[in-house]
Structure 1
Amino acid sequence: MQRQVLVQHAHVVPGSGPELPGTDVLCTDGVITAVGAGLAARAAPGCEVIDATGLTVTAGFVDAHRHVWQAPLRGAGADMPMSRYFTEILGAALSSLSAADAGRATRLGADAALNAGITTVFDYSNATLSPAHTDAVVDAFAGSGIRAVVGHGRFDADDVRRLAVRTGRVTGALAVLGPEYGDWDETVAQLAFGRDLGMMVSAHVGGACVRRLHDAGLLGPDLQLVHLNAVTPEDAKLLAASGTAVVVTPTVEAVMGHGASAYERLADAGARPAFGVDVVINNPPDLFEPLRDTLRTMRLRSGSASAPAAADLLRAATLDGARAVGLADVIGTVEVGKRADLLLLHGLGHLRGDRAGAVVSCLTALDVRTVLVDGHVVKRDGRLTT
């Protein structure tokens, strides 16, 4: 029996073309099967109907880099420098984490993400300390209803292989120290290992390694580089040309001393950067904050009230986010054939024109009314259902 959801009378921001006022979205067995006006006649008996009159529908947000297990530590590091982060968070707190703790912490982080309209998260998971920890993390994501890519943060080859064969909403990746924080030869071997398994490999970098990775033929869309605060415009072009996935976390980078965000340098080079929350010890668990922070920073630099256009940034939290986690063919736009990961946002029903820019410039997590992941309603009328 088909499982259908019909979202009716919405203002749809598809992310792949002009905005569509007065539009329905039909989802069948987790897939968007039609986008247009008057789709009720195509709905099967038993179809769930959601009245989206006055609401704005976008693709679900993609958080391309977060350490999800740190959710219980929210607010614990408002003035914490990186040196203390390594010893107190990645040292003391992480070492005390049991498998049950890892599961509960991950579930809390997943719920916070869903509540803020994040339907997919790339979890750079330091919490995969043992196979039992890994199972707890995976089970937590599965129970929450979120779509997750679990980046295994401890190089246990057998445990990583278990993640590599996962399909569906919760899949696996490899999270490594990378050449700027670890050994070069080890990074090369880990990248080869991940690629042999068909997994994306994620690493934190400042940017100094980009040229060396390029010269060694190691850049590519299955490599995800996070932060890149020191990347040069020339090296940003190498990343763009190779299709390497790039992620920035502007609010955390600013408060923890990483340096100025590389978003503009990467975007100017055509590298299509995505956004990440990163850590919640000093940062809200949503993507509205980095979206607006980036808009303000770029407008200050340009001296213009309209450049860049606010609407242009929405793609970084949707389609470019999907691309940065290896799921661009699956999610990131509201169009036929994509999985039905959708946000229904309120607060903009009075606008007659396009709304994408207003989503970026004016909305917050409080405006996330209803959330669908894989065609399942995981937040309804402001309350999580799972």
Structure 2
Amino acid sequence: MSNSWIIKNGVVIDTEPQPVVLGEVDVLVREGRIAAVGPDLTAEGVAEIDATGMIVLPGFVDSHRHTWQSTIRAVAPDTTLGGYVEHVLGELGPRFGPGDVHAGIAAGARECLDSGITTMLDWSHVQFTPEHTDAAVDALTASGIRAVFGFCYGGTDQDQMAPEGRRVREALTGDLVSMAVAAFGPEFGDLARAAGEWRLAQELDLTVSVHMGGHGAESAERGLAFLDAHGFMGGPRTTYIHANYYTDEHLKRIADSGGSVSVSPFSEMALAIGYPVTGRAREFGIPASFSADAVTSGPGDMFGMMRTAHALERGRPEGAGLGFTTRDALRMATIEGAEVVGLADVTGSLRVGKQADLQLLRTDTPSMAGAQDVIGAVVLNADTSAVDTVMVSGRVLKRAGRLASV
């Protein structure tokens, strides 16, 4: 599969340091990396992609997705967080064998690629045995997507968590799949397990992704106190999922520690997890990203997440969020998301030298025709039907609206 291309005649959006429309310029990809962005580029021996009538921009980054649940989509559309935990995690999850995990993650990865998501953090809390874990990693690797595998140990013998984590870390030798620790505690599970998860991340020099701050004010305070007591604030680098109940003081501490947040704007509202922290976090300089969370209770495409976040932020009381723009939403969906998952030097923008993780959006669909503000149209009007071409590391995984057979 070729990974060298020249993309011509498209309207190009870059996102670093801020989203900007570069106009009708060319993008040259050599050996999977962005080699040049500019007008009238030429390159001998490189296949051309004609992007006439299309928007060219970086692929989206989803910072928290329980991808294994793709095969039980919409199983709990009108539940709350408690109902989700009881039914999906307590009743359905334990019935998944390794083959079911592989099928769910394979389907979820294809869903991401189909909708322009080229990078995701797969928060995998279905690892009941090493075979479950291997099935998850194999599905991610085979899909062609860029992924951070969120290791959440699910075995009954907690003494085996660290050895299993080391085994997985050593097995990840490819270019596209890396690893983070998906910590179950301290707001879920016992605190001894939580301490073991953070120590494992420190040992393996991995980031931590954790559901913290979305379970009430008292729980949010206790969770940060636990991190403080064990010296975990600031090391390892931590992404806080559903961080909606943190006070301004808490957010300042997270910012000072180098932490980031993952916002699931739809599921947080639908499951009553709290009002999304989007603008509040960014006001403190905390890198913020979007996540689909779980398609058991919400949509899985980035367009829906950007629109939901944009509307909710601008609808904050007394106009507190009116400064949040479509450019902010697109930044969170691309370069800021890449920063949150630890891949800002790899993906998320069109900077020369980065991996060519790109998407081309059609503008001749009914929802995109006549668009005036290009970035505004991407955020507020586009949907999966507009995604014509998707490229990961220069490999074309969707073309002319059809996914490749991977």
Return the alpha-carbon distance in structure 2 between the equivalents of residues 247 and 158 of structure 1.
28
- Tell me the equivalent position of 1:7: 7
Listed as ranges, the matches of 1:1-386 within 5 Å are 3-16=3-16, 18-40=20-42, 43-45=43-45, 47-154=46-153, 156-165=161-170, 166=172, 167-206=174-213, 207-208=220-221, 209-210=223-224, 212-214=226-228, 216-220=230-234, 222-301=237-316, 303=319, 307-347=323-363, 350-351=370-371, 355-386=374-405
Return the alpha-carbon distance in structure 2 between the equivalents of residues 174 and 303 of structure 1.
37
Give the AA of the match of 1:64.
S
Give the AA of the match of 1:370.
T
Deviation readout 1:22-67 (Å, 9 max, x if unpaired): 1111111111111111222xx241x221111121111110110010
Unaligned runs of 5+ in 1: none
Return the alpha-carbon distance in structure 2 between the equivalents of residues 216 and 111 of structure 1.
40
Q: Per the alignment, in what secondary structure is the counterpart of residue 181 of structure 1?
A: coil
State the shift of 1:96 in Å: 1.1
Q: Is the 8 A contact 1:54 1:349 kept in 2?
A: no
Stretch of structure 1 that moved more, 28-37 or 304-313 = 304-313
Deviation readout 1:262-309 (Å, 9 max, x if unpaired): 112111111121110000012111111121111111222254996322
State the shift of 1:190 in Å: 1.7
Return the alpha-carbon distance in structure 2 between the equivalents of residues 290 and 105 of structure 1.
21
State the shift of 1:202 in Å: 1.4
Deviation readout 1:325-355 (Å, 9 max, x if unpaired): 1111111111101110001112257556x52
State the shift of 1:87 in Å: 2.5
Return the alpha-carbon distance in structure 2 between the equivalents of residues 80 and 370 of structure 1.
35
Note the aligned Cα RMSD (angstroms).
2.1
Q: Per the alignment, in what secondary structure is the counterpart of residue 342 of structure 2?
A: coil
Q: Per the alignment, in what secondary structure is the counterpart of residue 371 of structure 1?
A: strand
Distance 1:304 1:54, change over 3 A: farther
State the shift of 1:2 in Å: 8.3
Give the AA of the match of 2:123.
Y
Return the alpha-carbon distance in structure 2 between the equivalents of residues 314 and 125 of structure 1.
26
Q: Is the 8 A contact 1:211 1:235 kept in 2?
A: no
Q: Is the 8 A contact 2:3 2:396 kept in 1?
A: no
Stretch of structure 1 that moved more, 375-384 or 360-369 = 360-369
Return the alpha-carbon distance in structure 2 between the equivalents of residues 215 and 319 of structure 1.
33
TM-score by length of 2: 0.89
Give the AA of the match of 2:324.
P
Give the AA of the match of 1:197.
L
Percent identical across equivalent pairs? 37
Q: Is the 8 A contact 1:4 1:44 kept in 2?
A: no
Distance 1:381 1:373, change over 3 A: same
TM-score by length of 1: 0.93
Return the alpha-carbon distance in structure 1 between the equivalents of residues 312 and 99 of structure 2.
41
Q: Is the 8 A contact 2:64 2:122 kept in 1?
A: yes
Return the alpha-carbon distance in structure 1 between the equivalents of residues 3 and 13 of structure 2.
24
Q: Per the alignment, in what secondary structure is the counterpart of residue 196 of structure 2?
A: helix
Return the alpha-carbon distance in structure 2 between the equivalents of residues 333 and 238 of structure 1.
28
Q: Is the 8 A contact 1:164 1:173 kept in 2?
A: no
Q: Per the alignment, in what secondary structure is the counterpart of residue 282 of structure 1?
A: coil
Return the alpha-carbon distance in structure 2 between the equivalents of residues 3 and 382 of structure 1.
19
Unaligned runs of 5+ in 2: 155-160, 214-219
Q: Per the alignment, in what secondary structure is the counterpart of residue 332 of structure 1?
A: coil
Q: How many residues align?
A: 382
Return the alpha-carbon distance in structure 2 between the equivalents of residues 157 and 216 of structure 1.
18
Deviation readout 1:133-175 (Å, 9 max, x if unpaired): 1221111112211111111111632332133232410122211
Distance 1:88 1:351, change over 3 A: closer
Q: Per the alignment, in what secondary structure is the counterpart of residue 249 of structure 2?
A: helix
